[in-house]
Amino acid sequence: MIIYIDGKYYPEEEAKISVFDHGLLYGDGVFEGIRAYEGRVFKLEEHLRRLEDSAKAILLKIPLDRDEMRAAVLETCKRNKMKSGYLRLVVTRGKGYLGLSPDRCKKPTVIIIASDLELYPEKYYREGLRVVTVPTWRNSPAALDPSIKSLNYLNNILAKIEGQQAGAQEVILLNPQGLVAECSGDNIFFIRDQVLVTPKLSSGALNGITRNTVLEIAREAGWKTREDDVRRYDLFTAEEMFLTGTGAEVIPVVEVDGRVIGTGKPGKHTTDLIRRYHKLVTTTGTKIPA
């Protein structure tokens, strides 16, 4: 594996950053998870824009402009001979000292990793996931806006641990008002009365690129869609349900907190959406240089 760090490429065993990097010490930084399919990077421009927006929100100046960052991503894919896989693009505050203040971090660190990722075993795409609601709340937007895709994922990790202890494959986080926000690493959708519904961003959900892609696909297919306040009751009474994310893609859910969703098998609308999504990701995107 060849990894990009600050303009240079290193074999995996030689890829290192300082122990004083504030991304390591405090989670001070931003990232993007990006997928490549059959020699194309899917939604690269959207991911780069979201990275820039996240960085701007935390007053972190990315040392590469859009064209330079795009070129670095594609070159990393090329050097790893990547056709299909997962990219992790990270920008940290950089090397500083043991105090919280970022003013001693003079140069941000940029890291690009090209690797494989299997977030869920294949059987769950055929059979569906079992998910549970966990006690850990989603961070309030007043504390950390969910639109900032930061390196600090401890909120999500604590929720994931609770789900693993309950024997579930994924978890649902509620916001402080008791509304459904999102899962530990995915957005959530359900279908009821022929309408596709997902929580509003103001509920604490990440502005997911896969989330937006699925909404676009559904609307183009003639589906009715709605972004709304979502309660646990809405999930319990859903006819179909699925999760979306760059790593997860589109994956069905068949049980929530012991309540069976629909027939207990992935629904026909979900299956159709997965097919449409796979067609889109394998036929569009930014070409990786040969």
Q: What's the per-residue H, E or C state across the chain?
A: CEEEECCEEEEHHHCCCCCCEHHHHHCCEEEEEEEEECCEECCHHHHHHHHHHHHHHCCCCCCCCHHHHHHHHHHHHHHCCCCCEEEEEEEECCECCCCCCHHHCCCCEEEEEEECCCCCCHHHHHHCEEEEECCCCCCCCCCCCCCCCECCCHHHHHHHHHHHHCCCCEEEEECCCCCEEEECCCEEEEEECCEEEEECHHHCCCCCHHHHHHHHHHHHCCCEEEEECCCHHHHHCCCEEEEEECCCEEEEEEEECCEECCCCCCCHHHHHHHHHHHHHHCCCCEECCC
Active site amino acids? 149
